[in-house]
Structure 1
Amino acid sequence: MGTEEAAELEAALTAAQAAAPVPPLARLAPILVDVAARLDTGRGFCLLRGLPFDRHGAAAAEATLLELCTHLGKRLSAEGSPVARLIGPVPEAGAASGPPRFHSEACDAIALLCLANTPDAAPHVLISAGAVHNEIMRRDRAALAELYEPAPLIEEGAVVERAVFTMTEGAFAARYTRYAVEEAAAAPQPGAAPLSAGLRPAFDLLDAVCAEAPLMLKLEPRPGDLLLFNPHLIWKRRTLTEAAAGDPEAPQEFRRLRITMEHSRRTGAAGA
């Protein structure tokens, strides 16, 4: 980011801090177009470092983040503010019963903004779903085939069917929420097909591959950093928890925004 772009972002944050409308980010727009392309057809993530988001207060950071992300797509509708406040740490999923599990979310991009962090905080860990796919293919093609088959899972209170890996018109996408599949299997719906015998071993292999250090990318967010990633291509290990209303300021302070993009890889029911 050049001097003029940095000055534009600083001016937007200053305006938001004064409760004025956030001006359009015209100079940043070309950079954000490039970011959107990287999320959709590139590596699937982008880290913007050294931004002044942490210098003007949380409310100004949220307002400016919302304006910035209009250049990437549309924010997902949600009750209350679309920007979630996250604090940490939270115990890693699966730490007590097996390998730590990565997860994905039902959106096309996630913006994770760091407002405060501590030097001893656990790193944020990303993994490429494509790299996991290829490693499973190398080790066990039968397990990989299981992960291409739709399985019932609970999503937003409803039972849908979805495969972990899909390929639609040449576009690869991956959604992995094992706990949602196991929740559906524990209380099966009338007429729903049971899980195949090979799915749980395939999930076990997927978890084991995800737990291997050589495939992980570890990031240590700094105040002002903005991490953007496509959860259909990049999975993230959960290290933060959503703060309850009225919680005091915490040593770790993040904001998360979920985005839908024009060219969506979201997989629909039955693996569509």
Structure 2
Amino acid sequence: MTIPTRPRPRPVPQTGPAVWTAADLTAADWMIPVGAEEAAELDAVLTATEAAAPAPPLSRLAPILSAVTARLDTGHGFCLLRGLPFDRHGAEAAEAVLVALGAQLGKRLSGEGAPVARLIGPPPEGPASGPPRFHSEACDAIALLCLANAPDAPPHVLVSAGAVHNEVMRRDRALLAVLYEPAPLIEDGAETERAVFTMTGGAFAARYTRPAVEAAASTPRPGAAPPPPEQRAAFDLLDAVCAEPTLALKIEPRPGDLLLFNPQLVWKRRTLAEVPPDAPPAPQEFLRLRLTMAHSRRTVAEPA
């Protein structure tokens, strides 16, 4: 029996609001200021939660949260909320407010451990060592709440996955095609396959997982074919493009700011490391909440 060959992908340039460079955007494009009345609504939710009473509706915040959902899915892929009362009640209360707000946007990502993780920075290896590494979690949105951020702390660096895709295409179409091919990888101890770039049903999605691919290559399965030689060249090119200063947008959150991004469209360079909840305070400290959402590029682009 002849096994049909899978047609090779034919990448096309990505377009739309999610394809941007740092020069394309101003703070007004990604910052959402929250007024005192909207902040008071979330304060009321926290008060009700502490009293084990029914939470009041977020009638004034609802349009803002709808705008956040749209920005993450069909807009620039990220935004920053400024003015919510996260910094008024302490870290424990801030976590409760973050969970309450996340429940209005989607569902908390299920899995082991606490739903909200504590992150500090920079990580032990330092943000500038080796090629850039980016968030690649299997979720639809990541919410990072700033609790502390020293003036000399490294900024948060975001890149548009669509802009990276287009620049790789401009430099080498053949290597871009390699990045559309599923590659074996190991994540959370499990073996699977996934391409960096996918396009299914008109939905573009991207997950950069070079460490997971390298983990699979270093522990090959019996009978498995070795990685193609062009794979390393493709990942090297991807690293070089991600490091381009013209593509990177640098954001310096203030305490109380909430940065949200869709990791299928926007990659954030890792400058934080997860620590236990009882770890000592740090000059740079964040809470992270991962969400799944009703409309998910992840499930569209990664069919079971």
Question: Normalising to structure 2: TM-score of the pair?
Answer: 0.83
- Is the 2:201–2:300 Cα contact (8 Å) retained in structure 1? no
**Number of equivalent positions:** 271
Matched, 1:231 2:263: yes
248-257 or 175-184, which moves further after superposition?
248-257
- Is the 2:198–2:301 Cα contact (8 Å) retained in structure 1? no
Deviations 1:32-88 (A, max 9, x none): 111111101111001111322011011111111111111211101133420001111
Which residue, out of 209, 225, 228, partners 1:196?
228
197-206 or 243-252, which moves further after superposition?
243-252
Equivalent residue runs for 1:6-25 within 5 Å? 6-16=39-49, 22-25=55-58
Counterparts in 2 of 1:229 and 1:71: CA distance versus 1, 3 Å: same
Q: Distance in 2 between matches of 1:269 and 1:42?
A: 18
- Is the 2:123–2:271 Cα contact (8 Å) retained in structure 1? yes
Q: Distance in 1 between matches of 2:292 and 2:214?
A: 27
Deviation at 1:253, TM superposition (A): 1.9
Matched, 1:46 2:69: no
Deviation at 1:136, TM superposition (A): 0.4
Instruction: Give the corresponding residue for 2:216.
Output: 184
Instruction: Give the corresponding residue for 1:125.
Output: 157
Deviation at 1:89, TM superposition (A): 1.4
Deviations 1:178-226 (A, max 9, x none): 0100000010123333211111000000000001100000000100100
Aligned residues with identical type, % of pairs: 76
The AA in structure 1 aligned to 2:274 is E
Secondary structure of 1:256's partner?
strand
Deviation at 1:245, TM superposition (A): 4.3
Instruction: Give the corresponding residue for 1:150.
Output: 182
Question: Normalising to structure 1: TM-score of the pair?
Answer: 0.92
Instruction: Give the corresponding residue for 2:61.
Output: 28
Deviation at 1:269, TM superposition (A): 9.8
Q: Distance in 2 between matches of 1:208 and 1:8?
A: 45
Counterparts in 2 of 1:194 and 1:73: CA distance versus 1, 3 Å: same
Q: Distance in 1 between matches of 2:53 and 2:89?
A: 13
Counterparts in 2 of 1:7 and 1:242: CA distance versus 1, 3 Å: same
Deviation at 1:91, TM superposition (A): 4.7
Q: Distance in 2 between matches of 1:52 and 1:94?
A: 30
Q: Distance in 2 between matches of 1:81 and 1:19?
A: 21
Q: Distance in 1 between matches of 2:294 and 2:276?
A: 32
Deviations 1:74-119 (A, max 9, x none): 10113342000111111567844x4323232111100000011111
Secondary structure of 2:96's partner?
helix
Q: Distance in 2 between matches of 1:23 and 1:80?
A: 29
Secondary structure of 1:102's partner?
coil
Counterparts in 2 of 1:35 and 1:92: CA distance versus 1, 3 Å: farther
Instruction: Give the corresponding residue for 2:37.
Output: 4
Counterparts in 2 of 1:21 and 1:188: CA distance versus 1, 3 Å: farther
Instruction: Give the corresponding residue for 1:221.
Output: 253
- Is the 2:143–2:261 Cα contact (8 Å) retained in structure 1? yes
Deviation at 1:266, TM superposition (A): 1.4
Q: Distance in 2 between matches of 1:177 and 1:270?
A: 15
Counterparts in 2 of 1:3 and 1:127: CA distance versus 1, 3 Å: same
Which residue, out of 133, 138, 149, partners 1:101?
133
The AA in structure 2 aligned to 1:229 is F
Counterparts in 2 of 1:199 and 1:80: CA distance versus 1, 3 Å: closer
Instruction: Give the corresponding residue for 1:242.
Output: 274
Counterparts in 2 of 1:251 and 1:23: CA distance versus 1, 3 Å: farther
Q: Could you list the runs of 5+ residues in structure 1 that have no partner in the other structure?
A: none
- Is the 1:101–1:211 Cα contact (8 Å) retained in structure 2? no
The AA in structure 1 aligned to 2:78 is F
Q: Distance in 2 between matches of 1:232 and 1:126?
A: 12
Which residue, out of 59, 67, 89, partners 1:56?
89
- Is the 1:163–1:270 Cα contact (8 Å) retained in structure 2? no
RMSD: 2.2
Instruction: Give the corresponding residue for 1:71.
Output: 104
